[in-house]
Amino acid sequence: MKKSNTVAAIAVVASITLSFTIGSCDTSSNRPRKEYQGREDNPGLTEDRGDNMAALDFNLNDIDGNNVNFMSEVSKNKLTILDFWASWCRPCMDEMPNMINIYNKYSDKGLGIVGVSLDEREHDWKGTIKSKGLKWLQLSDLQGWDSPVAKKYGVQSIPHIIVIDQKGNIIADNLRGASLEEFISRKIE
């Protein structure tokens, strides 16, 4: 009798865990990772250009409805952070103070940030940008997890942060907090 209750409890926990990780801001990816290692990390993310992994280009609308080309933005900066996020994602909101700090500290040294929201409701997306005081470029197609850009980059959890150099090479993937700031500081100075 005890064994069947244990098995049933394990099945319930597994079911609940699965329901929270599919289509949600999976927090299991909160651990910092080292510099981007290549195609094995995320097969949907990049095209191989020899030793470097190239960021994939895309066009999305900004908060004013203007169509923006991503690689045009990348070319303007020494480094660009591509940040996939959503207003409903608690880990994303927890990371925002760090992103604001990094932007304020390094934007005048050649850092750009491009936020790509996985929100589906325009008022949630725009309201969060305004309430958090996000000064950097924000883009979205308001398609949530069905966003072709998120799929193109193989985004399976958010926040998902990618660092790209001026030539369009991915140089780091999934760094957060102090690890992200240390990396930016080292690469931009």
pLDDT of residue 53: 87
C-beta separation of 141 from 60 below 8 A: yes
- Laid out side by side, the sheet with 169-173 consists of 47-49, 52-54, 169-173, 160-165, 79-85, 111-117, 137-140, 59-62, 67-69
Can you give the pTM of this predicted structure?
0.76
Place of tokens 């927890």: 94
C-beta separation of 83 from 174 below 8 A: no
Encoded amino acid at 174, one letter:
N
Q: Using one digit for the tens of pLDDT, what is the confidence trace for 72-108? A: 999 999 999 999 999 999 999 999 999 999 999 999 9
Which is more confidently placed, 173 or 45? 173
